[in-house]
Amino acid sequence: MRFAALVLLLALLASLTVAVFRFRTEARATRVELAMDYSDFVQLARSYDYNPAAFLIALRRAGLTSLALTEELGSEIGADGKAYAATGGTLMSQARLGALHDPELSALARSGKLDPNAVYVIVWDPATYERYRVQLPLHFMNKSVRVLRDRYPWLIEVHTQIDYFNGEALGIPTDQILLAKRLGLLVIPRFQNDQRFTKAQMEAQIGAVLRYDPRVSTVIFFGLRNEVWGYPNNLQEAAAIFREPGHTFNFGTIEAYAPSQIQKGNVTLARAIPGRTVRVQAIARTELDKLSLDDVVDRYVLGVRERNVRVVYLRTFQQRDGNLTIEQTNVEMVRDIAQALRKHGFTLGRATPIPLYHGDNRAIVGIAALGVPAIFALLLVLLGWYRRDLVAAAYILTVALYLGGLASHHDMLARSVLALAGALLFATAAFLALARGFAEPPHPATGPQILRGIRWTLTATGVALLGALLVVGLMSSPLAMEEIEPFRGVKLVLALPPFIALLLYLFSGKYSSGSKRARDILLAPLQSYQLVVGVLLASAVALLLMRSGNQSEIAPSHAELVLRRVLENALSVRPRLKEFLIGYPAMMLVPALAPLHRRYVGWLIALGAGVGIGDIIDTFSHLHTPLLISILRIFNGLWIGVIIGAIVIWLYRRFAAMR
């Protein structure tokens, strides 16, 4: 037992070392970009006849840092009046109905040399022609692209189908890059992947932007196929471009709420460039139009503070806020977001990713991993189940799993398994720490009884926080903090502790529950009320899991949303409802109950305490949430939960007279 305690102490010290390094790293990675989608912006400006440059200057003064510029698709040629694209068949029909004014096209039509299946592009702008001259050979074979006239107005023939041509990306318009440069805004290029691209083509894409403005901050990808550069076969070549000397731009990974929304190749590319990935938060137009301005601002600020978002990707707000014009409303939106972020200690500028840092060290993490078999050994001793062969197997299995994960390049999977095991074992220890509270007689005075409840609550919370510290020590890699590598057991950390607590209460013999042996209970006839209770418990667990996560499958009620808003405004960091409404009051109430009442509702109190314990550890299992936010969340939940628990104890003593 002394050996296990010493190993556990070393593991917790290693985890604390990781936590300190992580805390310092998070405190420095506080620069955020406020980026406006230029395509969406210019559509709004044209719709209301606003001056785009003056509008952008107002947005920049309000806090805008960047312009997100998207490649022009073939279908968009002609929207700015600088070029025109049409199939040969369309031009032949025009020639039959009336003369073509372009002499080259007219001559081709008269001689029957217009290819009805080719696409003909006429260009009236030198910069646009230069862009097409570079971009078209990237997407089509050299023999498919012919310059029919290399002087103004330039004429290009492309042998391809019009629907395929319309879907190809032809670079970012030069005037948009120069506009961002003139206004002092960072450029966020949005590229569409072409699965045939090699490193040379990808370098040509980014080079066409860097040629005019080297202030590229973050690269974000788009397209109907929802792919990143290099997918599926050239992802390592894409990663090499980010790593090239002099390239300081980051890869923007778009926050997704369902697996189908994640861009293809996103995880592989991010793994290849650790420390060069930033999280991007955007609100889709269909959802944005349903939100109020305050909701939009709150959502973006919450994403930056609590989910490590470093690029706020804005689309224009198309509803008036009070008496403000649409233009003023958008300026106000940017100003409100910027002011709120500065208030919380963030700065605006080029987004800072979570870099590689000293805490993500294989040796330190390996020492932290030994905390799992150590706490397992201590629990076996406490429960009276100690066997040396089981403990030895646990140590051997832990070392083999960790080293095997490193050797197979699946170390984050191995760390997830160990972190889940450690979280559940510490949840077990936290509930065992309450065992004497279930057995001790209530104090005759209410004040001392409340103090007793606080003592037991702090004891269980402290043990649970040690479990959270072990999870932090094992899982705090930059990729996990950017939510590229998920903690795969996060939902189990939330769901299993209540059942562990119930099983310990019923069968461990440490809680004076009066239960029979497990075998006797399983062989006993099933009563109807037991069936109802089982169904209710299963439903509660399902609801708990469906409600978990940033975007839960069940939307919270209006009353809950109002409560959340009040708590966020009052406390800055909102505590979790499951902790201060269920977990902490249950821990407080345990020693205050009369023995008879404990026999009736002890199992329910055990479930409630298990919910709170699981939620404490789960709070730190969301690795994309900064440590400071998680600590404040626990602190706020604890003192509110203690107050609610004290009120519950007073009400219990006031209305449930003990004998």
Q: How many helices (H) and strands (E) does the chain have?
A: 29, 12
What is the per-residue pLDDT for 659? 47
CA pair distance 410, 417, nearest whole angstrom:
11
Segment 392-417 mean pLDDT: 95
Per-residue confidence (pLDDT) for residue 98, from 0 to 100 = 80
> Around Cβ 417, how many Cβ atoms within 10 Å?
18
Q: Whose structure tokens read 């209410």?
A: 446
Of the listed ranges 200-204, 445-449, 489-493, 598-602, the one predicted with least confidence? 598-602
Mutual angle of helices 388-407 and 362-369, in 10-degree steps:
160
More confident: 117 or 543:
117
Give pLDDT, residue 563. 76
What DSSP letter does each residue of 485-541 carry, written as one string?
A: S--TTHHHHHHHHHHHHHHHHHHSSSS------HHHHHHSPPPHHHHHHHHHHHHHH
Task: Read off the amino acid at residue 354.
Answer: I
Tell me how many degrees the CA angle 6-12-13 measures, rounded to the nearest 5: 90
Q: Count of residues for the chain? A: 659
| Backbone angles phi and psi of 71, in degrees to 5 | -60, 145
Class of domain 30-71+172-348: alpha beta
Question: Which helix H or strand E contains 222, and what residues bound it?
Answer: strand 218-222
CA distance 528 to 460: 34
The mean predicted confidence, pLDDT, of the chain is 90
pLDDT in tens, 215-225: 899 999 999 88
Residue 37 CA to residue 18 CA, distance in Å, equals 38
Higher pLDDT, 91 or 596: 91
In the chain, CATH 3.20.20.370 covers 30-71+172-348
Per the model's pLDDT, the better-predicted residue between 568 and 361 turns out to be 361
35-56 confidence digits (pLDDT tens): 999 999 999 999 999 999 999 9
DSSP secondary structure string for all residues of 102-122: SHHHHHHHHTT---TTEEEEE
> Taking 60 as the threshold, does the pLDDT of residue 588 lie above it?
yes
Q: Is 348 helix (H, G, I), strand (E, B) or coil?
A: strand
Q: What is the pLDDT of residues 168-196, one digit of tens each?
A: 999 999 999 999 999 999 999 999 999 99
Amino acid letter at 205? Q
Q: Quick one: tokens of 193? A: 């992947």
% pLDDT > 70, the chain = 92
* Beta pairing partners, 34: 312
Summarize the confidence of residues 492-519 as an average pLDDT: 80
d(CA 23, CA 17): 10
pLDDT digits (tens, 9 = 90+) for 314-370: 999 999 998 999 999 999 999 999 999 999 999 999 999 999 999 999 999 999 999
Residues 450-476 have a mean pLDDT of 96
Instruction: Give the end-to-end CA distance of the chain in Å, rounded to a whole number.
Output: 42
Cα separation, 274 vs 276, whole angstroms: 5
pLDDT in tens, 62-117: 999 999 999 999 999 998 899 999 999 999 988 888 878 888 888 888 888 899 98
